[in-house]
């Protein structure tokens, strides 16, 4: 390790650092100053607490993201464990199908929700036959919830499967031979073993739901989640300072969630989509 | 017999989950080829909507491909050297650099896009060109390239190879281009597939950064969902899926950077790469 080599290494890392500084650090710093330069000055940062509209949107987004996380984890633990533990004909196809929507962007997920719960959707048709009344909920908070769960299941199932693969089956055998019921084995052996994976994928799920924009945009109109509020402030109201302040608040929430998860679960965690 | 009952319940549940994910995809594909989706399949099969999509949105498809390839070139040029430095000199400073470079993943695309518009929106030529979108895509995909390459570098003994090359008189640049780069091919391939897939589907950033003349595929999709009839949106979605499927299949095969140890099942490529790298560095210690 001599100085020449250090020199060479800095040349290699310099381009990416330059791009990062010019197009991320600098713009982010500008975002922070612009947020404080509107009519309200630095108070823009507390406006989301004092303005009911913003506060409601913030609370709605947090509640939505948290419930999406809980629902996705519950569904994925059952399916992920099942797919990892059992070998049966068609298992590989089932896994391939469940992970197929992994790369769908939010807009496409929104369209899938419309297919299921929209005006010409499957759920509407079924409820019309069964109850005589067409159930349409794609364009509401429930539709958004469904979309985010749809978006998150594939990636969380994969994480759970990877974690379940590494669990020690001897522990379960021991618990079972000592007379533990299947439910107790799940509660005291399997779930604690999956805890790091649950925390990590839960945080990704939460952060993604907080910041997701495409699905809400497709289902559109009157769903007031934070990303939509920011978008409206920016485009319709041309309130750039407020949009900047709100997006910084949003960025801080996702960043804190991911970092907290990382220190709890001890692995690198990143939001997707 | 209790176990087989549990098996049946879990299978039924998992099939239900699968149906929830796949049925709307099938419906959408079907709608794209049906004369009138409201009336059902009985209204007849048609390719009309696909042709209409081609007339209306072919340019978005080409732009998306172009941006994805440009983004790939940028992430290779920027990411491979950066990953090498991070692997070569593990320490506090490189750790910090890595933390910095993956930061764009922790911040919502909307916020990054706003920041870019506020900072560079006044430069008209830049704002109006497709390179403005490219910048956003590079920021967002670079971490995936770096991690994939880093994962491979951490599991190969490139230091010994480099030392032998150096003892034979190879210069630093010879070593980098003839030893290091060829040895992280599998990582570059895995990272490339991830970068192209992400770039083609990126919407959060792109929606804010695009102009009427620089619409990408997902932007066109959003546009068609909002303003076109359901059949056209469906046919367009089908075109998008056709582009996506080969990438996904390639990701299945080459998506995991090859490492000597038993591969961890794939979850999010980034998470896996990071985990692999951690286990790799533990082994090296």
Angle between helices A191-211 and B109-120 (to 10 degrees): 40
| Percent of chain B's residues with pLDDT above 70 | 88
| Residue A271 placed within a domain | no
**pLDDT for B267:** 40
Q: Do B14 and A218 touch (CB under 8 A)?
A: no
B171–chain A nearest CA distance, Å: 10
Q: How far apart are CA A239 and CA A26, in angstroms?
A: 21
Q: Verify that A4 and A86 share a domain, yes or no.
A: no
Q: Is there a domain that residue A164 lies in? A: yes
Residue B70 pLDDT > 90: yes
If asked whether residues A151 and A228 sit together in one domain, one would say: yes
Strand partners, B45: B34
- pLDDT 10s digits, B33-62: 887 777 777 777 888 888 888 888 889 999
Contact A94 B114 (CB under 8 A): no
Residue pLDDT, tens place only, A115-127? 998 888 888 888 8
* A272 domain residue, yes or no: no
Is the Cβ–Cβ distance between A36 and A241 less than 8 Å? yes
* Cα–Cα dist A213/A95, whole Å: 27
Q: What is the pLDDT of residue A260?
A: 87
Domain contains A20? yes
pLDDT for B166 beyond 70: yes
Residues of A in contact with B116 (CB under 8 A): 23, 27
A59 in contact with B, Cβ within 8 Å: no
* A215-241 mean pLDDT: 84
Is residue B72 included in any domain, yes or no? yes
Assess whether A58 and A163 both reside in one domain: yes
Residue B49 lies in a domain: no
What confidence score (pLDDT) does residue A70 get?
Answer: 96
Q: Give mean pLDDT, residues B57-68.
A: 92
Please report, rounded to a whole number, the percentage of residues in chain B having pLDDT higher than 90: 44
Q: Is A273 within the bounds of a domain?
A: no
Answer whether residue B272 is part of any domain.
Answer: yes
In a domain, B38, yes or no: no
CB contacts of A20 in chain B (<8 Å) are 100-101, 139, 142
At which residue do the structure tokens 């993604």 appear? Answer: A208
DSSP A78: H
Minimal Cα distance from B241: which residue of A?
A104
A97-155 pLDDT, tens per residue? 998 888 899 999 999 999 998 888 888 888 888 888 888 888 888 999 999 999 999 99
Q: Which of A158, A250, A267 lies at the smallest CB-CB distance from B266? A: A158
Mean pLDDT, range B208-233, rounded to an integer:
89
CB contact under 8 A, A107 and B270: no
Q: Can you give the pLDDT at residue B1?
A: 45
**Per residue in B99-155, pLDDT tens?**
889 888 888 888 899 999 999 988 888 988 999 999 999 999 999 999 999 989 988
Q: Is residue B31 part of a domain?
A: no
pLDDT score, position A149: 96
Q: Which of B246, B268, B276 to mutate to test the interface with A (most CBs of A within 10 A)?
A: B268
Above 80 in pLDDT, residue B274? no
**pLDDT for residue B4:** 78
Per-residue pLDDT tens over the stretch B184-199 = 999 999 999 999 999 9
Question: What percent of chain A has pLDDT above 70?
Answer: 96
- Which residue does chain B place closest to A200, by CA atoms? B271
Closest CA to B267 of A272, A136, A222: A272
Same domain, A167 and A233: yes
In order, the DSSP letters of chain B are -HHHHHHHHHHHHHHHHHHHHHHHHHHHHHHHTBS-TTT-GGG-B-SHHHHHHHHHHHHHHHHHHHHHHHHHHHHHHHHHHHHHHHHHS-SHHHHHHHHHHTGGGTS-HHHHHHHHHHHHTT-HHHHHSTHHHHHHHHHHHHHHHHHHHHHHHHHTTHHHHHHHHHHTT--HHHHIIIIIHHHTHHHHHHHHHHHHHHHHH--HHHHHH--TTS--HHHHHHHHHHHS-HHHHHHHHHHHHHHHHHHHHHHHHH-SPP-SSPPPPPSSHHHHHHHHHHHHHHHH-
Q: Does the reported pTM lie above 0.80?
A: yes
Within this chain, do residues A30 and A148 fall inside the same structural domain, yes or no? Answer: no
User: Which residues of B fall within a CB distance of 8 Å from A81?
Assistant: 10
Number of domains in chain B: 1
Q: How far apart are CA B249 and CA B254, in angstroms?
A: 9
Which residue in chain A is spatially nearest to B135 when comparing CA positions?
Answer: A23
The answer to the question of residue A171 being in a domain is yes
> pLDDT of A41-94, one tens digit each?
777 777 778 888 888 889 999 999 999 999 999 999 999 999 998 888 889 899
Distance CA A238, CA A230 (A): 10
- Residue B160 domain flag: yes
Give the tens place of pLDDT for each residue, B222-253: 988 888 888 888 999 999 999 888 888 888 78
Same domain, A8 and A130: no
Q: Give the distance from residue A43's alpha carbon to the nearest chain B alpha carbon, in angstroms.
A: 19
Q: Are residues A51 and A24 in the same domain?
A: no
pLDDT band at B276 (very low <50, low <70, confident <90, very high): very low
Whether A170 and A253 share a structural domain: yes
CATH number of the domain within which A99 lies: 1.10.3720.10
Task: Please name the residue of chain B whose CA is at the shortest distance from the CA of residue A208.
Answer: B108
Tell whether A54 and A178 lie within a shared domain.
yes
Tell me, yes or no, whether B47 lies in a domain: no
Other CB atoms within a 10 A radius of the CB of residue B182 amount to: 10
- The residue range of the domain holding A77 is 46-265
Residue A210 falls within a domain, yes or no?
A: yes
Q: What CATH number should be reported for the domain holding residue B97?
A: 1.10.3720.10
Confidence tier at B268 by pLDDT (50, 70, 90): very low
The answer to whether the beta carbons of residues B120 and B126 sit under 8 Å apart is: yes
| Contact at CB, B107 and A254, closer than 8 angstroms | yes
Q: What is the pLDDT of residue A184?
A: 87
pLDDT, chain B, mean:
84
| Residue B7 in domain | no
**Average pLDDT, integer, range A225-234:** 88
Q: What is the pLDDT of residue B2?
A: 52
Q: Are residues A196 and A104 in the same domain?
A: yes
Between A181 and B19, the higher pLDDT residue = B19
Predicted pLDDT at A170: 87
Number of structural domains (chain A) is 2
Does any domain span residue A157?
A: yes
Domain span at residue B280?
Answer: 58-284
pLDDT at A153: 95
The verdict on A227 touching B (C-beta cutoff 8 Å) is yes
Nearest 5°: phi and psi at B34?
-105, 140
pLDDT number for residue B195: 94
């Amino acid at each position: 390790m001599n100085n020449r080599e250090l020199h060479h290494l800095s040349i290699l890392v310099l381009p990416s650092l330059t791009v990062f500084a010019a197009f991320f650090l600098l713009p982010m710093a500008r975002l922070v100053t612009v947020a404080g330069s509107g009519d309200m000055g630095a108070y823009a940062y507390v406006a989301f607490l004092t303005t009911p509209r913003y506060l409601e949107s913030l609370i709605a987004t947090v509640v939505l993201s948290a419930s999406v996380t809980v629902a996705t984890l519950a569904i994925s633990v059952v399916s992920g464990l099942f797919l990892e533990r059992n070998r049966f004909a068609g298992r590989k196809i089932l896994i391939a199908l469940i992970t197929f929507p992994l790369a769908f962007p939010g807009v496409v997920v929104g369209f899938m929700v419309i297919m299921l719960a929209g005006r010409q959707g499957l759920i509407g048709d079924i409820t019309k036959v069964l109850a005589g009344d067409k159930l349409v909920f794609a364009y509401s908070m429930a539709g958004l919830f469904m979309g985010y769960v749809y978006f998150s299941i594939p990636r969380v199932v994969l994480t759970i499967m990877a974690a379940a693969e590494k669990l020690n089956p001897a522990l379960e055998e021991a618990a079972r031979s000592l007379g533990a019921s299947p439910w107790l084995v799940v509660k005291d052996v399997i779930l604690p073993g999956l805890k790091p994976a649950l925390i990590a994928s839960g945080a990704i799920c939460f952060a993604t739901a907080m910041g997701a924009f495409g699905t809400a945009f497709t289902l559109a109109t009157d769903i007031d989640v934070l990303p939509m509020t920011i978008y409206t402030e920016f485009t319709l109201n041309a309130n750039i300072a407020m949009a900047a302040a709100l997006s910084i608040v949003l960025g801080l929430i996702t960043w804190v969630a991911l970092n907290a998860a990382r220190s709890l679960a001890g692995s690198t965690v990143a939001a997707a989509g | 017999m209790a176990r087989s009952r549990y098996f049946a319940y879990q299978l039924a549940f998992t099939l239900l989950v699968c149906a929830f994910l796949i049925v709307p995809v099938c419906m959408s594909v079907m709608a794209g080829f049906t004369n009138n989706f409201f009336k059902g399949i009985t209204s007849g099969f048609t390719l009309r909507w696909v042709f209409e999509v081609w007339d209306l949105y072919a340019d978005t498809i080409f732009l998306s491909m172009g941006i994805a390839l440009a983004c790939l070139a940028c992430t290779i040029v920027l990411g491979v050297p950066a990953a090498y430095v991070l692997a070569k000199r593990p320490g506090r400073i490189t750790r910090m650099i890595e933390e910095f470079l993956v930061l764009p993943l922790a911040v919502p695309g909307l916020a990054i896009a706003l920041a870019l518009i506020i900072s560079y929106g006044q430069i008209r030529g830049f704002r109006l060109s497709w390179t403005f979108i490219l910048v956003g895509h590079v920021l967002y995909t670079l971490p995936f390239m770096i991690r994939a390459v880093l994962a491979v570098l951490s599991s190969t003994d490139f230091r010994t190879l480099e030392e032998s090359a150096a003892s034979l008189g190879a210069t630093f640049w010879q070593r980098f281009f003839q030893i290091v780069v060829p040895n992280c091919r599998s990582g570059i391939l895995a990272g490339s597939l991830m970068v192209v897939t992400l770039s083609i589907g990126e919407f959060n950033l792109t929606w804010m950064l695009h102009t009427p003349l620089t619409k990408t595929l997902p932007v066109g999709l959003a546009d068609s969902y909002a303003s076109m009839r359901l059949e056209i949106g469906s046919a367009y979605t089908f075109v998008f899926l056709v582009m996506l499927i080969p990438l996904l299949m390639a990701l299945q095969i080459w998506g995991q950077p090859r490492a000597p140890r038993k591969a961890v099942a794939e979850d999010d490529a980034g998470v896996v790469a990071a985990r692999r790298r951690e286990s790799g560095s533990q082994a090296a210690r």
